[in-house]
């Protein structure tokens, strides 16, 4: 990659996008965005307050009726152009994500491809928003269903996938004909700001997408959730914040999509191909520095293959090259912030205090930035915090089991239900696990399964609704049923 970082940062809009214009925050307040690998300041952005958030909703509501009348093909073409522009700008988007979030550059390129796919997928889905036609059984009516845009949406995204979490919401909303206020995470707003600018260049009319970055998330979300013009909130982030938003959304009975936290089990059976399981474990645990809602959180390994699995997995983990993701050959970047680093250190200390053995890693690394050594822990107590909480970092706790039923019960012993992974060569067992595991996503002999064409989402406290797939656009539509008098019905 040959990109001038200062030139790139100068291209990123630093204001709020309201009604198609980038503008200063009404209060004049700003906040800084830093590079987690170095602690250096990258940019200073305008910080939206409640008044700015309402102004953004005003702008969105002002164009909802006209936007809903545009043809599906027109909306599809905008998304297709956006896909092409994001792909053309892949070097810029990848560098921005590595700079503000820390992921290694090769993974940032992977996210550009993955994130752009939502634009392409929903450009294709925009023209396939099918309804049904059916006769009333009594012959009195001809019954038709159709989908209409749900209306103005608030989209709130997290810092871990700065591009993909935005495209996964914006693309189906555009496809369905909804207007939006997007609030990116304050730690990684630059990618969203540049993505919004790219959407404008792709032809999105003024006011359809408004962006309000800011240092107080609740100052932005609260007035919008209390405003009866808002019809939907789509959130990706922690379960705790998701619950707060759900309570607020109840007041105006909003449509909600909630992509929340995870605590994924990664189960390795005695009949698994262990090399394949180790390769899957590297993807499921170490992708995105372990900071993914789908990250394998608990490795549940049959005791007869645990030694072999741990030896091979720990060997691969210790080969990871930790450092600034912009540098050549780096395969594991920093954690997002000091608080995250301190939390990972505390989780490992707690596990060790409860009897765990550190096979590799186990400590923070380096003088600057928020680096933690990729870590494998064995002899982990089921009571340890690492076995119960979402880790969100490069730490792999290994637990062992003897019987299939024990593995299932251990895997399900969590309030979360997002991703799960099973490695076995036995297809009967695969289907038994599909029945027994309470998770919205399952990888069988595969460690990375997210795809724009597949419905993504959890059960239990991991969330509500699905993003991507044919289901993703439905979240942004309201079903309308029309009953038409059957011409042959008796008057």
Q: Which positions touch ligand NAP (CB under 6 A)? A: 156-160, 183, 185-187, 217-218, 221, 236-238, 241, 244-245, 259-262, 293, 390, 418, 458, 463
Residue placing its CB nearer to ligand NAP in the complex, 261 or 333: 261
Residue placing its CB nearer to ligand NAP in the complex, 305 or 396: 396
* Minimum distance from residue 278 beta carbon to ligand NAP (Å): 24
Full 3-state SS string of 364-379: EECCCCCEECCEEEEC
Residue placing its CB nearer to ligand NAP in the complex, 79 or 418: 418
* Minimum distance from residue 73 beta carbon to ligand NAP (Å): 30
Which two tokens mark 195?
């993505």
Residue placing its CB nearer to ligand NAP in the complex, 212 or 326: 212
Distance CA 466, CA 472 (A): 6
* Minimum distance from residue 348 beta carbon to ligand NAP (Å): 19
Q: Which of the following is catalytic: 259, 291, 390, 474?
A: 259
* Minimum distance from residue 92 beta carbon to ligand NAP (Å): 22
* Minimum distance from residue 272 beta carbon to ligand NAP (Å): 26
List CB contacts of 405: < 8 A, sequence separation 6 or more: none
Distance CA 361, CA 39 (A): 23
Residue placing its CB nearer to ligand NAP in the complex, 257 or 360: 257
Residue placing its CB nearer to ligand NAP in the complex, 101 or 305: 101
* Minimum distance from residue 244 beta carbon to ligand NAP (Å): 5
N- to C-terminal Cα separation, the chain: 73
Residue placing its CB nearer to ligand NAP in the complex, 424 or 450: 450
Strand order in the sheet with 477-485: 133-135, 141-149, 477-485
* Minimum distance from residue 282 beta carbon to ligand NAP (Å): 19
| Spatial contact of 270 and 250, defined as CB atoms under 8 Å apart | no
Nearest to 281 by CA among 301, 261, 262: 301
* Minimum distance from residue 432 beta carbon to ligand NAP (Å): 26
CB atoms within 10 A of CB 32: 12
Q: Which residues pair with 209 in a beta bridge?
A: 180
Q: Give the max Cα distance, the chain.
A: 84
Distance CA 482, CA 136 (A): 11
Residue placing its CB nearer to ligand NAP in the complex, 222 or 270: 222
* Minimum distance from residue 295 beta carbon to ligand NAP (Å): 8
List CB contacts of 244: < 8 A, sequence separation 6 or more: none
| Spatial contact of 70 and 177, defined as CB atoms under 8 Å apart | yes
Distance CA 99, CA 466 (A): 30
Per the annotation, the verdict on 125 as an active-site residue is no
* Minimum distance from residue 101 beta carbon to ligand NAP (Å): 11
Distance CA 63, CA 205 (A): 9
Q: Which residue is nearest to ligand NAP (CB)?
A: 237
Residue placing its CB nearer to ligand NAP in the complex, 117 or 390: 390
Residue placing its CB nearer to ligand NAP in the complex, 41 or 73: 41
Indicate which residues carry an active-site annotation. Answer: 259
């Amino acid at each position: 990659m040959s990109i001038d970082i200062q030139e790139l940062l100068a291209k990123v809009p630093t204001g709020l996008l309201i009604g198609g214009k980038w503008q200063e925050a009404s209060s004049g307040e700003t906040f800084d965005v830093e590079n987690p690998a170095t602690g250096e300041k990258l940019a200073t952005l305008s910080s939206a307050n409640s008044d700015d958030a309402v102004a953004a909703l005003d702008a969105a509501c002002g164009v909802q009726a006209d936007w809903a009348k545009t043809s599906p093909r027109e909306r599809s073409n905008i998304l297709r152009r956006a896909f092409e522009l994001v792909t053309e700008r892949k070097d810029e988007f990848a560098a921005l994500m590595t700079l503000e979030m820390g992921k290694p550059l090769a993974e940032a390129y992977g996210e550009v491809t993955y994130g752009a796919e939502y634009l392409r997928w929903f450009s294709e889905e925009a023209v396939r928003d099918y309804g049904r036609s059916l006769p009333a059984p009594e012959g009195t009516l001809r019954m038709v269903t159709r989908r209409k845009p749900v209306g103005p949406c608030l989209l709130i995204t997290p810092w871990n996938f700065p591009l993909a979490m935005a495209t996964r919401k914006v693309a189906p909303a555009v496809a369905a004909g909804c207007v939006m206020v997007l609030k990116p995470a304050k730690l990684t707003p630059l990618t969203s700001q540049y993505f919004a600018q790219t959407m404008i260049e792709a032809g999105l009319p003024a006011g359809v997408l408004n962006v309000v970055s800011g240092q107080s998330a609740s100052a932005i979300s609260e007035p919008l959730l209390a405003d009866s013009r808002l019809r939907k909130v789509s959130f990706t982030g922690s379960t705790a914040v998701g619950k707060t938003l759900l309570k607020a959304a109840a007041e105006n009975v909003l449509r909600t999509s909630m992509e929340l936290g995870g605590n994924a089990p990664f189960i390795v059976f005695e009949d698994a191909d262990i090399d394949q399981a180790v390769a899957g474990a590297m993807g499921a645990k170490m992708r995105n520095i372990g900071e993914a809602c789908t990250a394998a959180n608990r490795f549940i390994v049959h005791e007869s293959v645990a030694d072999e699995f741990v030896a091979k997995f720990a060997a691969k983990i210790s080969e990871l090259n930790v450092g600034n993701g912009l540098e050549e050959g780096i395969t594991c970047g920093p954690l997002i912030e000091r608080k995250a680093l301190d939390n990972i250190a505390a989780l490992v200390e707690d596990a060790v205090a409860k009897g765990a053995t550190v096979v590799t890693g186990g400590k923070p690394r380096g003088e600057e930035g928020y680096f933690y050594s990729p870590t494998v822990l064995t002899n982990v107590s089921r009571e340890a915090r690492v076995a119960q909480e979402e880790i969100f970092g490069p730490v792999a706790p290994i637990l062992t089991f003897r019987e299939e039923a024990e593995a299932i019960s251990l895997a399900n012993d969590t309030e979360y239900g997002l991703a799960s992974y099973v490695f076995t060569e036995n297809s009967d067992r695969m289907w038994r696990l599909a029945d027994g595991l309470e998770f919205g996503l399952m990888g069988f002999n595969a460690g990375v399964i997210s795809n724009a064409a597949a419905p993504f989402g959890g059960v239990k406290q991991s969330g509500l609704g699905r993003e991507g797939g044919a289901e993703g656009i439905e979240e942004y539509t309201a079903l309308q049923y029309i009953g038409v008098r059957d011409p042959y019905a008796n008057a």
